[in-house]
């Protein structure tokens, strides 16, 4: 870390250089505090420019420090010192000014930025609120309405919008520093504006708070931080900046110490580490521009949409005209719905469809850099697809299967150049779900692995490497989770009680509601196949339901009943009667017990997966659950939960 000072005439330039993102840690705080004094004492200096080294300003406070108690000097005090300095400080910003970075900039008397600048207070994503004056200075600089969107709703303006908002005083071209120096010289010719904290602020309408509360509550999904950030902002408007700063800091310190914030920090670092596993460091990925997707059903269409969204060209291969027409209409539907939700423009939707080519037969795969197979889950069908691809594709083209359960080694048997083959397991809907399980075989080349991680990054996915086992990481844990849920029911716990407990924990749906939505038949057929191979697989309640024709929502009932056209589950006396032979006496257990049983089952399976070397780390398992299976983000994942439970006991 270094905070460098250069003097250019009467202007001092202070550069925070703390790679990779200029995070403000204790050393930076100490140095800034000392510099504010030293530059005030330097009679040659009339103004100070504060900037960040490299491509960004400051990404925020150093999150790695948050597992320890806060250590002085505290950031609010450093910012207050800068704000009250005798010489005006001017923030010169390119790239991210996030969290404590934006708060530092707000403590400066002026802000100049390039178009590349981005401003955010992403603290709520970490389960905390801004802790260094962001909730107080921002509304005094840009007004209450826009400040709420940035403080509590994750709005992230760029340079041009920041100028319109009044968040920056001038938008300048690169090179940034000479432009900032010219700005400073000019500013010194005029009266200085008030410090941010001293500026007047008013409430645009009395409804502003209630409206913001409603918007925040609708999106909070149980997270506490957004409403608390609003509370701090409002307090400062109603009771003055000093009271606002005090409340902000106390909420910040309170939330920083919560389990939720610890869980979110754990995921923050896990998500970043996931993109850069040690084994592929320094290995160049193969260039990928055109991708063939074989099979345009549920998964193939979703994968094609994800690729098109990321700017790649796609050739979608189906068996016949009907398959092609179905896939085209699914993709049109996907882009139409993004358009309706305002996520993309009409032109972008058309441009994406223009990058799609459809084909019957594999000829077009010859010019593709990557092929992703998503045909029926059947070894013979998949093998015949790869036999064709092996003949047609370039030897350096990467070939991937999206199989859910089949051993990729069996699929690749006999494939020429098997080092280019691996599993790329997307999750449904593939254009939405962030998880990508990457499953190399023992023969997969390292640069093919690196290509897959690079592809994940380009698609905005979270890649997790999995070894080969039945169900890979995610479906293997899912199976154990479901088995435990059924064991609870067999032990007399009500179906609805299990679902309610898991919803209470933060899942969008309980395990039985989820099965009804996805269909009970696939897992049933899987168990039946094992039985037909002579394996001993005892009947479970789900088997009885499927045999009675109850396969879930699609048949009007599974664990619950469903009225026609209504997805809301209704308690089902029929389902209870069908499973009764396997169910013990009614046993009402506490929600915490249900959650603890299901968490323990997931964590035990996770531990086996780790011990067998299937997953590289416990954090990877958490990422699989959070990004592929709806595990509540604020709970950090099953392995995080287990580690915290162990720590509590010691």
Q: Could you say which of 188, 201, 253, 273 contacts ligand 3HC (CB under 6 A)? A: 273
Q: Are 33 and 73 in contact (CB under 8 A)?
A: yes
Give the separation between CA 413 and CA 433, rounded to whole angstroms: 30
Say if CB 622 and CB 267 are below 8 A apart: yes
Residue of the chain from 38, 353, 381, 387 that contacts ligand NAI (CB under 6 A)? 381
Non-local (6+) Cβ contacts of 532 within 8 A are none
Look-up of token digits 């409206």:
211
Position 59 contacts ligand 3HC (CB under 6 A): yes
| CB of 151 vs ligand 3HC, minimal distance in Å | 10
Stretch that binds ligand NAI, among 127-135, 262-270, 290-298, 608-616 (CB under 6 A): 290-298
CB atoms within 10 A of CB 321: 10
What value, to the nearest 5°, has the Cα angle with vertex 214 and ends 210 and 216? 115
131 binds ligand 3HC (CB under 6 A): yes
Active site residue 337: no
Helix (H, G, I), strand (E, B) or coil at 487: helix
Question: Which DSSP state fits 615?
Answer: B
438 binds, among ligand NAI, ligand 3HC, none (CB under 5 to 8 A by kind): none
Q: Any contact of residue 75 with ligand 3HC (CB under 6 A)?
A: yes
Listed ranges 56-64, 243-251, 496-504, 578-586: which one lies at the site for ligand 3HC (CB under 6 A): 56-64
Active-site annotation holds for 587: no
How buried is 341 (Cβ within 10 angstroms: 0-12 exposed, 13-18 middle, 19+ buried)?
Answer: exposed
Distance between CA atoms of residues 404 and 422, nearest Å: 13
CA distance 51 to 93: 6
Q: Is 484 a catalytic residue?
A: no
323 contacts ligand NAI (rule: CB under 6 A)? yes
Among the listed residues 338, 425, 484, 513, the single catalytic one is 425
User: Least distance from C-beta 55 to ligand 3HC, angstroms?
Assistant: 8
**Interface with ligand NAI includes 331 (CB under 6 A)?**
no
Least separation in angstroms between CB 296 and ligand NAI: 5
Under rule CB under 6 A, residue 317 binds ligand NAI: yes
Q: How far is the CB of 275 from ligand 3HC (least distance, A)?
A: 7
Helices within 42-113 (DSSP H only): 75-83, 100-107
* Count of other CB atoms within 10 angstroms of residue 631: 24
Distances, alpha carbon 506 to alpha carbons 38, 223, 260, 577, 621, in Å:
51, 10, 12, 30, 18
- Report residue 285 as tokens: 């990925």
From the number of C-beta atoms within 10 Å of its C-beta (0-12, 13-18, 19+), residue 174 rates as exposed
Give me the 395-434 binding string for ligand NAI, x by CB under 6 A, dash otherwise: -------xxx---------------------xxx------
Q: Which one of the listed residues 475, 484, 572, 625 is annotated catalytic?
A: 475
Whether 402 is catalytic: no
Cα dihedral 321, 324, 328, 333 sign: positive
Which CB, 546 or 575, lies closer to ligand NAI?
546
Residue 60 contacts ligand 3HC per CB under 6 A: yes
**Number of residues counted as binding ligand 3HC (CB under 6 A):** 25
Q: Is 297 in the site for ligand NAI (CB under 6 A)?
A: yes
* Residue 474 contacts ligand NAI per CB under 6 A: no
CB of 212 to ligand NAI, least distance (A): 37
Give the one residue of 112, 385, 489, 498 binding ligand NAI; rule: CB under 6 A: 385
Interface positions with ligand NAI (CB under 6 A):
294-300, 317-319, 323, 374-377, 381, 385, 402-404, 426-428
Catalytic residue annotation: 404, 425, 437, 475
């Amino acid at each position: 870390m270094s905070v460098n000072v250069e003097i250019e005439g009467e202007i001092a330039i202070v550069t925070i250089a703390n790679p990779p993102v200029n995070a403000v840690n204790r050393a930076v705080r100490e140095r800034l505090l000392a510099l504010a004094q030293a530059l005030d004492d330097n009679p040659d200096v009339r103004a100070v420019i504060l900037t960040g080294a490299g491509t960004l300003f400051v990404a925020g406070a150093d999150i790695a420090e948050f597992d320890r108690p806060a250590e002085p000097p505290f950031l609010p005090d450093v910012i207050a010192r800068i704000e009250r300095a005798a010489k005006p400080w001017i923030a010169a910003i390119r790239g991210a000014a996030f969290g404590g970075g934006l708060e530092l900039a707000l403590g400066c008397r002026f802000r100049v930025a390039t178009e590349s600048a981005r401003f955010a207070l992403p603290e709520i994503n970490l389960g905390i609120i801004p802790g260094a004056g962001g909730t107080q200075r921002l509304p005094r600089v840009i007004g209450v309405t826009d400040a709420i969107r940035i403080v509590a709703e994750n709005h992230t303006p760029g340079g041009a919008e920041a100028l319109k908002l009044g968040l920056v005083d001038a938008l300048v071209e690169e090179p940034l520093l000479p432009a900032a120096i010219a700005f400073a010289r000019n500013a010194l010719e005029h009266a200085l504006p008030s410090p941010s904290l001293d500026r007047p602020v008013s409430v645009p309408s009395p409804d502003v708070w209630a409206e913001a509360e409603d918007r925040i509550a609708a999106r909070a999904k149980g997270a506490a931080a957004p409403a608390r950030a609003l509370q701090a902002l409002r307090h400062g408007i109603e009771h003055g900046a000093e009271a606002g700063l005090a409340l902000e800091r106390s909420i910040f310190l309170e939330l920083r110490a919560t389990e939720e914030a610890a869980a979110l920090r754990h995921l923050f670092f896990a998500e970043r580490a996931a993109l850069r596993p040690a084994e592929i460091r320094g290995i160049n990925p193969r260039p990928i521009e055109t991708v063939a997707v074989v099979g345009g059903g549920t998964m193939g269409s979703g994968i094609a949409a994800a690729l098109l969204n990321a700017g790649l060209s796609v050739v979608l291969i189906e068996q016949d005209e009907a398959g092609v027409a179905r896939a085209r209409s699914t993709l049109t539907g996907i882009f139409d719905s993004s358009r309706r939700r305002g996520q993309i423009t009409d032109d972008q939707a058309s441009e994406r469809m223009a990058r799609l080519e459809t084909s019957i037969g594999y000829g077009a795969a010859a010019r593709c850099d990557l092929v992703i197979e998503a045909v029926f889950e059947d070894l013979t069908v998949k093998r015949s697809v790869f036999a064709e691809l092996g003949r047609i594709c370039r030897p350096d083209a990467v070939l991937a299967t999206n199989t859910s359960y089949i051993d990729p080694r069996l699929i690749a048997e006999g494939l020429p150049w098997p080092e280019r083959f691996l599993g790329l397991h997307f999750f449904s809907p593939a254009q939405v779900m962030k998880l990508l399980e990457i499953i190399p075989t023992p023969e997969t080349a390292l640069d093919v692995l690196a290509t897959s991680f690079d592809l994940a990054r380009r698609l905005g996915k979270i890649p997790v490497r999995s070894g080969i086992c039945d169900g890979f990481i995610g479906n293997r844990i899912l199976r154990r989770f479901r088995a435990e849920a059924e064991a609870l029911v067999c032990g007399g716990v009500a179906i609805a009680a299990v679902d309610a407990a898991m919803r209470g924990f933060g899942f969008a749906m309980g395990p039985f509601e989820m099965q009804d939505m996805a269909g009970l038949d696939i897992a049933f057929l899987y168990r039946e196949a094992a039985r037909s191979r002579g394996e001993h697989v005892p009947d479970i309640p789900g088997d009885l339901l499927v045999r009675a024709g109850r396969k879930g929502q699609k048949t009007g009932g599974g664990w619950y009943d469903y009225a026609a056209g209504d997805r809301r589950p209704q308690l089902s006396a029929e389902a209870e009667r069908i499973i009764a032979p396997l169910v013990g006496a009614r046993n009402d257990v506490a929600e915490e017990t249900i959650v603890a049983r299901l968490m323990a089952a997931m964590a035990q399976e996770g531990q086996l997966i780790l011990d067998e070397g299937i997953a590289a780390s416990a954090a990877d398992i958490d990422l699989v659950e959070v990004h592929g299976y709806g595990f509540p983000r604020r709970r950090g994942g099953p392995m995080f939960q287990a580690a915290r439970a162990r720590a509590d006991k010691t």
